Amino acid sequence: MPKLPKTVWIVDDDREMAEAIGLLVNLLGWERRIFYSGKAAGKALLTEPPPTVILLDLNMPVVPGDEFLKFVRSRRQWEAVRVFMLTSEFAETERERLLTLGADGYLTKPVTLEELEEALAGI
């Protein structure tokens, strides 16, 4: 059976930010898919093979990032999916809360190529 490519789903309502992060993901040799809402990403997660990694914006309308994170962590079939939260605001208490909810990491926007490379290393 062929090995599936390493894929990153970027879930961010800010289209310019999502596209910029997508370019970085491609530079690192990963396939990427962009969703501009948690609702769209949730539908895809239910009907498609899951990604290797989700880069998830915290502050989104309708389905906030922390709610989407809970959704991902509620299903056993997605337990191997790595989820890194993206936010423009850094607060240690928020980071701890998200890690407790099941996030694998926390990246502050704008994300640099080096920070993203470090987060994806070894996956």
Task: Tell me what pLDDT residue 114 has.
Answer: 97
CB 106 within 8 A of CB 115: no
Confidence category of residue 39, pLDDT binned at 50, 70, 90: very high
pLDDT band at 1 (very low <50, low <70, confident <90, very high): very low
Q: For residue 26, tell me if it sits in a domain.
A: yes
Whole-angstrom distance, CA of residue 15 vs CA of residue 29: 21
Mean pLDDT of the chain: 93
CATH of the domain at 28: 3.40.50.2300
- d(Cα 50, Cα 28) in Å, to the nearest integer? 19
- Domain hosting 38: range is 7-120
- Cα angle 35, 38, 42 (rounded to 5 degrees) comes to 90
Average of pLDDT values for 37-47?
Answer: 96
Instruction: Specify the pLDDT at position 93.
Output: 84
